[in-house]
Each structure stands twice: as structure tokens, then as C-alpha cells.
A and B are shown apart, each in its own frame.
Chain A
Amino acid sequence: MKAVILGATKGMGRALARRLAERGDRLFLIGRADDIGASARDLEIRSGPTVGTAYCDLEQPQSFAPALDAAAAALGGFDTVIVTGGMFASQEALERDPELTRRLLVVDFAHTVLFCEEARKRLMAAGGGTLCVFSSVAGDRGRSPVALYGAAKAGLTRYLEALDHRYRRQNLRTICVKPGFVKTSMTEGLKPPPFAGTPEQVADDVMAALDRGTPTVYTPRPWAAVMLIVRWLPRFVMRRVSF
């Protein structure tokens, strides 16, 4: 596998990149962190082959195409694009700050979709491949603590579902990863619910999905059952519960 990863410097993206590198996949990291080179070096020491990097910022759509082109040049073409990057803020912080809300909605929905479109074109031009994007269980229902973040993720989830329906016959596999609560620096300060998972558990689940082409992945595993119930809860119940 030759994979481009957006968001491999932290959390779930970092754990996934390490797992992929350790089993021998070729990687190229894109992102905006100033220490992305150190993350690439970490993967090289773990696995051996060179890991290149390029600048890519989900707030700057003009950075998408050059970053993907740099990845294609370094890897000699790629067959997998993984997007774990995104933005998170609490509902309270978003309600206080409309500018933060605008940024989050744009990054998590509009720009992520634009990035996927760039990735899709390149994957299909190469005869197909896998586009694996991290959405969230927050997009499955309208939930009061994540009204805004969840709305952006709901839009992203629908887009990914449609992409899979539209292009799977043309060898583009779209994988929508829906992590439940995972203990990362993103969720630090939030009280972990039952079934809170680790980035390593998520990485293992996503690896399996990449190999099988599973279109929707709830991870860690117990969240599949949790969300099955949540998806079927009637609205009068959803209105009363605080999750």
C-alpha cells in the first residue's frame, strides 16, 4: 500500500501511521504542523523506508493539490488517501464564538469535501484506490452536546456514503470511519464515557477496514452497538437525554 495521510502528527492519525509503517506500507505525510518532519522521522526509524512530507492545511484549499502532487511524485503514485485531520471544539465554545463556528463548519465539512474531491480525482486517474476519511459518531444523530460539530460531521458522512455508492464500481473504495469517544489530546478535559477507546484500538480497526474495504467503521468496537441503539432512539427520548 502507498498511502498519503493528512493528520498523522497526532492522536488517531499518528497511531494509524505507525501501524501502517510497521507492517511495511509506504507513507507520505501531509499537514500543517511545524514538527511534521519529526513525525516522518519517527516512522522511518520504526519501519525503514523514507517518509516524505508536504504542507497541507484544511483551512487553505489551495494547499490541497500541491500536497497531493508532492505525495504522488515522492511515492511514484499512491493508492490510498487517509484523512484523520479535523477540528473540534465544545458546543459551549462554539456558541460563544461565531468565527470559531464558521471555521469549524468550513474545515470539517466544506474543505474536507474539497480535499476528498482532489484525492478522488487522483485515485481514479490511477485506476482506483481507497479513500479513508475520519468522520464521527457525532454525525449519526442530532445530539445536543455536539449540535454544530455533529452537523458538519453528518454532512461529511453523507458525502462519503454517496461517494461510495457512486464510484465503488469504478474501483474507488470510500471508507467512513466513525470513532466514538477516544482518549486523545483532542478530547482531553472531557470526561470519558464508558467504552472510551485508545488511538491504538482505532488504528487496528481502521487497518482491518482498509484491507477489507469496509464502507463504514464504528470504532472502538462497542460503539457499533451503542450507535445502533442511538440511531433508533425516538426523538422524544433524544430530547430528554443529554448525550
Chain B
Amino acid sequence: MIGLAAPVDPISLPSDLLSGWGRFPRVPGRERSSERLDHATLDVPLTRGLGRAYGDAALPAGGDIRIAGSGRANRLLAFDAETGELTAEAGLTLDELIRIFLPRGFFSPVSPGTRFVTLGGMVAADVHGKNHHAAGTIGRHVQALKLRVASGDVVMCSRATHPDLFRATVGGMGLTGHILEVTLRLERVASPWIVSESERVPNVRAFVEALRIASGNWPMTAGWIDCLSRQSAMGRGILFRGRWADPHEAPTPFAPLRAPVTVPFSLPGWALSSPIVKTFNFAHYRWHGAAVQRRVVTPARFLYPLDSVGEWNRLYGRRGFAQYQCVLPEAQGHDAVTRFFDVLTGRGGASFLCVIKDCGEEGEGLLSFPKKGISVALDIPMRDTTASLVDALNEVVIREGGRIYLAKDALTRPEHFRAMEPRLDDFLRVRRQWDPEGRIRSAQSVRLFGW
């Protein structure tokens, strides 16, 4: 395509409001997206992928309006069918990666709960998935990264070259530079199907134990929790475990990904109010039945059940919602999770969706989220009390020696984050070294680190 004179001067236009997936906060911002990410990232403070971070991680800081968007930079640059090593531009989505490589017997080694994320975003958040106990975070499978650092230079980093920059970038929320290209090793899978089992679990203590047992035999595990159940049933829910099906178990050779059905408009604020969620949760739990259910399902159904509903964030109404995810270390035992749920349910925390997952060892990223223990993720509708609920949960997490996940966060106080994160100074030192003037920043980095 030939000589593209800038169609309009973007500065002269009123800026749009940008928000993360939780639709809170909304800040002035304008995304500049181009097939040429190396051009789009010049002189902007941040790159945003598909905007699936829930809070303010992919939003411009106050005063910064323009940020780069990576979604159009989505070329495959190299692929080795022997080793599964793929190099692609950072805007390639997991959805497209699966469409291209699953028919050839490869899958992303790690996958978050949605396939509508970019490779760059996956690395920046150092995402984990249902196989964290077995496969770690995505960072473990990344071989090399190409970054545009604050000086404007383009730098390759890996475990051998600029290892400090590599470790700070994996899980570094895009704050060390603009991720331009990612090289990672895909996982070879036996079939494009997953054998899944699900089972009811009566309470939170049993859940922690059930996850521990399942993780010994299954590469993928996670659980859904009914947050509104109380007393002896507190934290009851359904445990899911899965593994890639062997070819002889697979029903047909291939099932293509289906396009989502989209929520057409924002629902009113009461749509996910406590009585409605309570009814839904009760029905969901009962409907499952007492027996173990075993099925062979598509990866989309097992790994991305929410992706079947497009724009599901509209379910939470115009005010949006906060997602909260923390990990409570294993050393604190089962009781840590019980204490966390005591505080949550004590405050009437109506979370439509609550997911529990046991994590394996901490990754190498300096701000990588997971560590050995139990992770809990909640959706909390945005109300006047939401910030104080997050404060209360954060105080529990600090007491237990846990931490929160930046890709979800919009409300954590800086002093709380610092108390959770002994590695923060190491991260900020590397960030400062590559960006002495603090050019690369996000709304979240300014909120939590001051720059």
C-alpha cells in the first residue's frame, strides 16, 4: 500500500476514552495502530494489545494521550516445524495462533482464560493458565524478545543477551520497552481435543486438597467457586481437570473455532446483583450432579468458556467491574484460603465468577505473578464499596505473604503493592537502567510506582 499521508492530525481530534476489560477506569487516550509496530512505537509511552488487562495496566498515564496499539502487527516471521519454535510480531493473537497451528498439531504451551490476547500482552503479563502447576508461565517458553526500549533503540533480549532486561520484561507489564517480536516454543499436542473431567467439591478446604490431588495426575486443573455459599459449604464449587486427548479418543479430526455470540449492550447494574448470582450459582452447582462427568471437548470449550460470549464485560453494566486475583502461598496451608474467603464472604462479596487454581513454582520474571500456592480470581461489580473491599482483601494477602496480579488490578494502593512485592526494587532498578527518564509508563505504573 502506497504513500499514506496521515489522514487527519490525531492530536486535533478530541481524544477517546480508553479502558481495560473491566471498563474501569476510563481515561482519555488515543491508540495509534499500524502494521508497522516499529513505526507506531516511536515516541509513545506504552503499547496496548487487545486491551484485555482488566484494570489500568494498558492505559496511558495522566497527560499521555497517544499510545501504540499492536493488534495490526501480526505477522508470522519464522517457524520451525521440528522444534515448534515460532517467531511472530507482538500483535499476533492467541486466537489466530491456534487457528493456524492447532491443525498442524501445535498449541500455545501456556494459555490464559481468553484467546483474545496478543503475544506481546501474554509476555508482558507473563500469563499462566490451567497448566501452571505443570508448565509454568508463558515466560518459561519464551526464547527471545525484540524490544523498542525508551531510547528508541531496538534491542534483542534473551536468557543469554541482556538477561536482566529479559527477566524484567517477562511479566513487566510493558514497562521496560515496547515488545515488537516474540520467539517462543509451541507445544506439540496429540490431538485437537481435550479429555475433561469435572466434579463437585463441597467446600474450600476440600477444594485445596482436590486441586493438589488432581495436579498430580492431570496437566490442566482449575475450579469454579460459588462465592455466596456460607458456613460449612463456603467455597463449594466444581473442579475441572483436563489433558490433551490421544488420537484414538478424539471424535473427529478437527473442530474449528466458533465465533462468539456478542452481548449487544450494557446490562443494567442489577443484572448481576446478589440474588440473581446466588440463584445462578445454586443452579449451576446442583445441575452438575454428584457424579464425576467425563467428556471430550474442544480446547475452546475447556480453556476459554467465556470467549463464547463476546463483550461479556457488558454484563456488569456501565460502571464496569474490578477483577481481583491473588495468590496465597502454599506454606500458609489450607487455612490461608479459608481466611481469605472468610473476609470475602463476610463482606458479602458477590462475585459472579470466582476461579481457584493451584500454582507451581515462581517464574523467572521479576514481577511474574504466580508462586507456589493457591490463586483465587474474582469479578467484583464496581460499586461504591469496591475499593474498600479490595483494600481489605489486600490486607489479608499481605498477612499471608501472597501477592496480586497486575494484569487484573485497578485499585490496589501503592503501599499495599510494595508490601506484597519484595522483588519490586530489582524490577525498578532494571527499568530505571533502560529508561532513566521514565518515558515508558502506564496509568498503572504511575499509580503504583509513581512513574
Q: Does A140 contact B (CB under 8 A)?
A: no
Q: CB distance B3 to A87 under 8 Å?
A: yes
Report A86-97 CB contacts with B as 1/0, cut-off 8 Å.
Answer: 111110110000
Interface contact tally, CB-CB below 8 A? 86
Residues of B95-131 at the interface with A, using a CB-CB cut-off of 8 Å, are: 100
Q: CB distance B5 to A87 under 8 Å?
A: yes
Which residues of chain A are near B5, meaning CB under 8 Å?
87-89, 93, 100, 104
Q: Which B residue sits closest to A13, measured CB to CB?
A: B1
Which residues of chain A are near B1, meaning CB under 8 Å?
7, 9-11, 13, 31, 33, 84-86, 186
Q: Which B residue sits closest to A14, measured CB to CB?
A: B35
Q: CB distance B32 to A7 under 8 Å?
A: no
Question: Given A31-B1, A59-B3, A89-B5, is A185 in contact with B33 using a C-beta cutoff of 8 Å?
Answer: yes
Question: Given A11-B35, A32-B2, A46-B100, is A185 in contact with B77 using a C-beta cutoff of 8 Å?
Answer: no
A14→B75 CA distance, assembly (Å): 10
Which of B6-14, B145-153, B318-326 is the interface stretch? B6-14
Which residues of chain A are near B7, meaning CB under 8 Å?
88-90, 93, 186-190
A88→B6 CA distance, assembly (Å): 8
A86→B72 CA distance, assembly (Å): 19
Question: Given A14-B35, A188-B32, is A45 in contact with B3 using a C-beta cutoff of 8 Å?
Answer: no
Report B1-36 CB contacts with A as 1/0, cut-off 8 Å.
Answer: 111111111100100000000000000000011111
Question: Given A42-B77, A45-B79, A46-B76, is A188 in contact with B33 using a C-beta cutoff of 8 Å?
Answer: yes
Q: CB distance B33 to A45 under 8 Å?
A: no
A219→B60 CA distance, assembly (Å): 35
Q: Which of A46, A186, A187 has the most CB of B within 10 A?
A: A46
Q: Does A168 contact B (CB under 8 A)?
A: no
Question: Given A9-B35, A185-B72, is A103 in contact with B4 using a C-beta cutoff of 8 Å?
Answer: no
Q: CB distance B76 to A42 under 8 Å?
A: yes
Q: How far is the CB of A93 from chain B (nearest CB, A)?
A: 6
Interface size class of B (residues with CB under 8 A): 20 to 34
Q: Does A226 contact B (CB under 8 A)?
A: no
Report A23-52 CB contacts with B as 1/0, cut-off 8 Å.
Answer: 000000001110100110110011000000
Q: Does A57 contact B (CB under 8 A)?
A: yes
Question: Given A86-B2, A89-B7, is A185 in contact with B76 using a C-beta cutoff of 8 Å?
Answer: no
Question: Given A46-B100, A93-B8, A189-B13, is A39 in contact with B75 using a C-beta cutoff of 8 Å?
Answer: yes
Q: CB distance A45 to B4 under 8 Å?
A: no
A33→B5 CA distance, assembly (Å): 15
Which residues of chain B are near A104, meaning CB under 8 Å?
5
Q: Which of A186, A189, A190 has the most CB of B within 10 A?
A: A189
Question: Given A11-B35, A185-B34, is A41 in contact with B4 using a C-beta cutoff of 8 Å?
Answer: no
Q: Does B78 contact A (CB under 8 A)?
A: yes
Q: CB distance B4 to A88 under 8 Å?
A: yes
Q: Which of B1, B32, B79 has the most CB of A within 10 A?
A: B1
Which residues of chain B are near A189, meaning CB under 8 Å?
6-10, 13
Q: How far is the CB of A151 from chain B (nearest CB, A)?
A: 17
A86→B2 CA distance, assembly (Å): 5
A86→B36 CA distance, assembly (Å): 17
Q: How far is the CB of A14 from chain B (nearest CB, A)?
A: 7
A41→B2 CA distance, assembly (Å): 20
Q: Which B residue sits closest to A11, measured CB to CB?
A: B1
Q: Which A residue sits closest to B5, measured CB to CB?
A: A89
Q: CB distance A42 to B75 under 8 Å?
A: yes
Residues of B52-108 at the interface with A, using a CB-CB cut-off of 8 Å, are: 72, 75-79, 100
Question: Given A38-B75, A39-B75, A45-B79, is A190 in contact with B4 using a C-beta cutoff of 8 Å?
Answer: no
A90→B6 CA distance, assembly (Å): 8
Which residues of chain B are near A188, meaning CB under 8 Å?
7, 10, 32-34
Question: Given A46-B100, A189-B10, is A87 in contact with B4 using a C-beta cutoff of 8 Å?
Answer: yes
Contact of B2 among A7, A92, A185 (CB under 8 A): A7
Q: CB distance A93 to B77 under 8 Å?
A: no
Q: Does A107 contact B (CB under 8 A)?
A: yes
Q: Does A58 contact B (CB under 8 A)?
A: yes
Q: CB distance B77 to A10 under 8 Å?
A: no
Q: Which B residue sits closest to A188, measured CB to CB?
A: B33
A87→B13 CA distance, assembly (Å): 22
Q: How far is the CB of B16 from chain A (nearest CB, A)?
A: 10
* Chain A interface residues (CB < 8 Å from chain B): 7, 9-11, 13-14, 31-33, 35, 38-39, 41-42, 45-46, 57-59, 84-90, 92-93, 100, 103-104, 107, 184-190
* Chain B interface residues (CB < 8 Å from chain A): 1-10, 13, 32-36, 72, 75-79, 100
| A-B pairs with beta carbons under 8 Å apart, 10 shown | A32-B2, A33-B1, A42-B75, A45-B76, A45-B100, A58-B2, A87-B5, A107-B2, A189-B7, A189-B9
